[in-house]
Structure 1
Amino acid sequence: MSKRKAEIAGGGIGGLALGALLARQGWQVQVHEQGAEIREVGAGIYIKNNSLEVLENLGVMARIQPLGTELEFAQIQFADGTVKQQRRLAGASRVHTFARQTLIEGLRDVALDAGVQVRTHSRVRGVHGGALLTENGKFEADLVVGADGVHSAVRTSLNVGGGFTELPTLIDRFLIPTRRFTPQARTVEHWSGNRRIGVTPAGKDHTYVYMVAPFADQAAARLPLDVEDWSRRFPLLRELFVELAEAPATQYPYGIVKCPKWAVGNVAILGDAAHGLPPTLGQGAGLTLMNAYALASLLQGAADVPAALRDWERRVRFISDRTQAWACRYDSFTRGCPQALGFLRPLVVWGFGRFRFLNDRMRVADHGLRLAGIPVPSQVQAC
């Protein structure tokens, strides 16, 4: 019997993870990457419990864990240094941090070891008749997956509606080669008015920093970073700002993807292409990895690929939809709360830290695929 064939658009987290999972089941898999190599754009990344379950299953964590940091606590502090919320990061709330390139290289190596073929310089144009179309040709397959980001050519070609919308929030990201500002294994999010700064260790030698402000805040948008302006808002972080002013940064607006259908025939939409969301809950990678595992699991042994894809969307989509909605609420509250109502901020932050049921509702994705009845074993054996 010939192997079933999968063509995957996008050599990022979702495409590589799904490719490895399918290849271990005996699929012939080809991943199309438009760049010259598998490379991640960005700085650091939070890997939460649902991500960790899939990465442990794939064997990626065994490769990359020494290069990251296992966090013990998450705090929210106001500009005067007072701690308004503290959560212990254990069990379903566990979190590791890495440089994004470390994660993508771990996934790449596992995919290649499983037999995935990676085709670089392959720009995807869409799908037609159940086949993947690229600038270099047409690729027939039993399964086609669009894991090609928020501006997905696969999603657009399916004409299912929806698309990507920018939100009026801007984020800057930095990865600096020092642990001087993060000697403890904790992540701290600092709040001042409508600005937020996250400071987190990411391995033994690096610190990941993100800075968030409303798009209309022109002073916050300046790069190189305006040390004096940020120091007025966060006086206790001045030394950090001096360091960041000399560091490379990535800057982009928040955005959201609405995709009315994740599955059309033998084509599936995965990752940011399906559910791009603000990074306020750190679940972009988590939802992607979780949905990739669920898709591979439900395809295993399935004679009818389109039926398996429909079942996949029906069973797991609610987790992504709820997480996306909460991520947008978090963004809206932190960006749009009027200064006159600033007294509400500590109360809301305290409430979510004090009452577990509120945190569980907001962080529904942390609990992983158990909610969809698809538990993730700790490890699988390669075929």
Structure 2
Amino acid sequence: MKRKVEIAGGGIAGLSAGALFARRGWEVNVHEQGSEIREVGAGIYIKNNSLEVLEKLGVLDRIRGQGTVLERAQIQFADGTVKQERPLRDKSRVHTFARQVLIEGLRDAALEAGVNIVTGSRVTGALPGKGLLTADGGLHEADLVIAADGVHSAVRNSLKMGGGFTELPTIINRYLVEGRAFTSQPKTVEHWSGNRRIGVTPSGPDHTYVYMVAPAWDAKAARFPIDAEDWSRRFPKIADLMAVLHRAEGTQYHYGLVKCPKWSVGNIAILGDAAHGLPPTLGQGAGLTLMNAYALAHLVADADDVAAAVAAWEQRVRFISDRTQAWAVRYDWFTRQWPTSLDFARPLVAWSFGQFKCLNERMRVADRGLAQAGIDMMGEARP
């Protein structure tokens, strides 16, 4: 008899977990409250740990032509000087895509694996040992429940475990701009000027992904649409881009942080942003999600005791997400709160992030994937 998993949320976490469990013979229902599967946002960085999972699912081959394989990552100051440069290869490889390209690739992989996607289904909570609760009064019984319903997770909140979502005092604007006029080379560049940052990267053959980050207390930076004259004054080398962004459609929101005391409660697993939402400073939101989804299916799908296997999954892999989240918060603090009186020292700190191997490896622990947790992506988990 097939075992069944009910999943709250039809985003990256829910669709990837659904596809992975369906491929292992489970009956899978994914509940998405929207009327269609759609990703809100602009571009997305997909790093080595994400790419390993997408390769296993066959999604990377499906979407590769719609993305960009990056060769280098730079930090440039406002005067155009390069303060850090890293090659992006091997365990540091990075691809970029439009977010909608990734979500459609995962949706198609899930459907092909036999996942049942239920749109217009709003999840309100879950009962350990029983199943998923929906707004229509339904109890969807399951052997496993996965809470993949985002930073404001209704499932996590229904379990009364404490923790939750905290808004951070950093704002980010995101844009997906038509064309590659500003990104002729396969590199991502983060421009720094005081406490403001602008990231510019190619995102497929026909688009450029741009993000703009500033402290929430910076009133001029918080204007939306942007004050092109003010941003151009701060970033004169890319002033032409400011004029484009002033007219472009984009989104603005605050960074956020999720504290989740437990990822496992009986037969309920909390996955993705619901478990470890973090500032996007290291580009690992999707990476942690895909990696943890793979580990969950790998360790739970064939287990006799689902609840025990879910608890073991958390114990085995959580350290990677906790360390990455901590470093993402530190990086946000550094770029937001660094005193202007110490701006003379900022280049040295930026340089050290790239040059000191021990620091870089700690900060980018997630890039190295599940091998750190004893899980071989080619086969079995090591004891």
Fold shared, TM-score > 0.5 on shorter chain: yes
Aligned AA (1:114)? A
1:90 is matched with 89
Aligned AA (1:249)? G
Range 34-43 or range 335-344, more displaced: 335-344
The list of structure 1 runs, each at least 4 consecutive aligned residues, that deviate by more than 6 angstroms after superposition, is none
2:373 is matched with 372
Range 265-274 or range 130-139, more displaced: 130-139
SS at match of 2:247: coil
1:252 Cα deviation from its structure 2 partner: 0.4
- Among all aligned residue pairs of Structure 1 and Structure 2, give the percentage whose two residues are the same amino acid: 71
Take 1:53 and 1:230, find their aligned partners in 2: how far apart are those partners?
38
1:320 Cα deviation from its structure 2 partner: 0.2
Q: Deviations over 1:92-135 (max 9, x none)?
A: 00000000000000000000000000000000000124310001
Q: Deviations over 1:309-351 (max 9, x none)?
A: 0100000000000000000000000000010011221111111
1:301 Cα deviation from its structure 2 partner: 1.5
**Structure 1 position 32 matched with structure 2 position 64:** no
SS at match of 2:182: coil
Aligned AA (1:22)? F
Take 2:47 and 2:169, find their aligned partners in 1: how far apart are those partners?
26
SS at match of 1:342: helix
SS at match of 2:83: strand
1:54 is matched with 53
Q: What number of residue pairs does the alignment pair up?
A: 377
1:110 is matched with 109
Aligned AA (1:104)? I
**Structure 1 position 127 matched with structure 2 position 126:** yes
Q: Deviations over 1:148-167 (max 9, x none)?
A: 00000000001111000000
Take 2:377 and 2:247, find their aligned partners in 1: how far apart are those partners?
43
Q: TM-score, normalised by structure 2?
A: 0.98
**Structure 1 position 283 matched with structure 2 position 284:** yes
RMSD: 0.8
Q: Deviations over 1:159-212 (max 9, x none)?
A: 111000000000000000110000000000000000000000000000000000
Q: Deviations over 1:193-252 (max 9, x none)?
A: 000000000000000000000001111111111110001100111100001111101110
SS at match of 1:245: helix
Gap runs ≥5 in structure 1: 379-383
SS at match of 2:372: helix
SS at match of 1:38: coil
SS at match of 1:199: strand
1:236 is matched with 237
Take 1:278 and 1:190, find their aligned partners in 2: how far apart are those partners?
18
1:324 is matched with 325
Take 2:205 and 2:376, find their aligned partners in 1: how far apart are those partners?
32
Range 369-378 or range 10-19, more displaced: 369-378
Take 2:228 and 2:94, find their aligned partners in 1: how far apart are those partners?
30
Gap runs ≥5 in structure 2: none
Take 1:226 and 1:352, find their aligned partners in 2: how far apart are those partners?
31
Take 1:346 and 1:259, find their aligned partners in 2: how far apart are those partners?
35
**Structure 1 position 63 matched with structure 2 position 62:** yes
